[in-house]
Amino acid sequence: MTRVRLRGAALWVVLAWNLNGIVYAQSADKPQPARAQEQVIVFVCEHGAAKSIVAAAFFNKLARERNLRYRAIARGTAPQEQISVSAAKGLEADGLAATEQKPAGLTKDDVSGALRVVAFCTLPEDYKSVRVEEWNDVPTVSEGYDRARDTIVEHVKRLLDELASKK
């Protein structure tokens, strides 16, 4: 009698295990929604290829480390074709990757959906009605990645401290 109960219990365990695997496999095929409370910060520089790329990469890294639900994107007012070589090499040396594969232009949708817009340059007239935080003290990345990165990271840490204190 005990043997029959054990076999029956083992059968239920095997069935439950297989059913769980089927449900998991089906859900893995479906696109997963973005995290519900994740808010976007937009970093903007003229070419969308250096300062905004570095800022977004470090913002995302530090926000993840702090378990904060924010995500940064990099945009440009006049995007160039490729990410700056000095930014790409610097991020790689820091163990990070650019948030974008290639520079992207700033759009009204980017701004309207953003919690915060941070600019390293003057935004076009179309965006004058938007509240923009300006970080004008950042040196150019091409003239010294380390100095530019260090200044950007200081700003990013202060921004994350501010955002975390509002939670």
44, 106 Cβ separation under 8 angstroms: yes
Q: What is the DSSP string of 76-143?
A: ESS--SS--HHHHHHHHHTT---SSSS--B--HHHHHTEEEEEESSPPPGGGTTS-EEE-TTPPPSTT
Extents of the domains making up the chain: 1-32, 39-165
pLDDT in tens, 128-162: 777 899 999 999 999 999 999 999 999 999 999 99
Is 68 strand, coil or helix?
coil
- ∠ at Cα 77 (152, 36), nearest 5°? 70
pLDDT in tens, 24-52: 333 333 333 444 568 999 999 999 999 99
Q: Which fold has domain 39-165?
A: Rossmann fold (3.40.50)
117, 129 Cβ separation under 8 angstroms: no
